[in-house]
Amino acid sequence: MKSLVISAHPEPKSFNARLSSTAQRLLRERGHEVRGTDLYALDFDPRERGSHYHYRRDPDRFFVQDEQRFNHDGGSLPADVARQLDDLLWADLLVLQFPLWWFGVPAILKGWMDRVFVYGGMYSSRRRFDNGVCRGKRVLLSVTAGSSAEDCSPTGREGDTRLILWPILYSLHYVGFDVLEPVILYGIHGAHGGEDPRERDAHLAVQLSRFEQAMTTIDRLPTVPFNRDEDWDERGQLKPEAPSYSPFIRHAPPF
Residues between 134 and 153 with contacts to its own copies, criterion CB under 8 A? 146, 148, 150-151, 153
18 binds its own copies (CB under 8 A): no
Q: How far is the CB of 39 from its own copies (least distance, A)?
A: 9
Element (H, E) at 95: strand 93-99
Neighbours of 75 (CB within 10 A): 8
Query: 119 near 113, Cβ under 8 Å?
Result: no
Interface with its own copies, residue 236, by CB under 8 A: yes
Rounded distance, CA 241 to CA 232, Å?
10
Between CA 111 and CA 205 the distance in angstroms is 31
CA distance 160 to 156: 7
- Distance (Å, rounded) from C-alpha 224 to C-alpha 173? 9
Is the Cβ of residue 30 or residue 110 nearer to its own copies in the bound state? 110
Identify which of residues 77 and 108 has a Cβ nearer to its own copies in the complex.
Answer: 108
Specify the residue, 32 or 68, whose C-beta has the smaller distance to its own copies.
Answer: 68
64 binds its own copies (CB under 8 A): yes
Among 75, 136, 157, 230, binds its own copies (CB under 8 A): 157
3-state secondary structure of 141: strand
User: In the beta sheet, which residues pair with residue 178?
Assistant: 138
User: Which one of 31, 75, 136, 253 is in contact with its own copies (CB under 8 A)?
Assistant: 253
N residues, the chain: 255
Judged by CB under 8 A, the chain residues 105 through 134 that form the site for its own copies are 105-108, 110-111, 113-114, 117, 129
In angstroms, the CA 67 to CA 94 distance is 26
Using CB under 8 A as the binding rule, whether residue 213 contacts its own copies is answered as: no
Instruction: Give the three-state DSSP class for 98.
Output: strand
- State which of residues 25, 28, 33, 58 lies at the interface with its own copies (CB under 8 A): 58
Residue 38 near its own copies by CB under 8 A:
no
| Residue 167 found at the interface with its own copies (CB under 8 A) | yes
CB nearer its own copies, residue 170 or residue 203: 170
Report the nearest approach of its own copies to the CB of residue 58 (Å): 7
Q: Which of residues 65-84 bind its own copies (CB under 8 A)?
A: 65-66
CA dist 161 and 220 (Å) reads: 22
Measured from the CB atom, the residue of 3 and 67 that comes closer to its own copies is: 67
Binds its own copies by CB under 8 A, chosen from 22, 104, 135, 204: 104
C-beta atoms surrounding 190 within 10 Å: 12
Query: How big is the site for its own copies, counted in residues (CB under 8 A)?
Result: 77
* Site for its own copies contains 57 (CB under 8 A): yes
Quick one: which of 157, 165, 176 has its CA closest to 248? 165
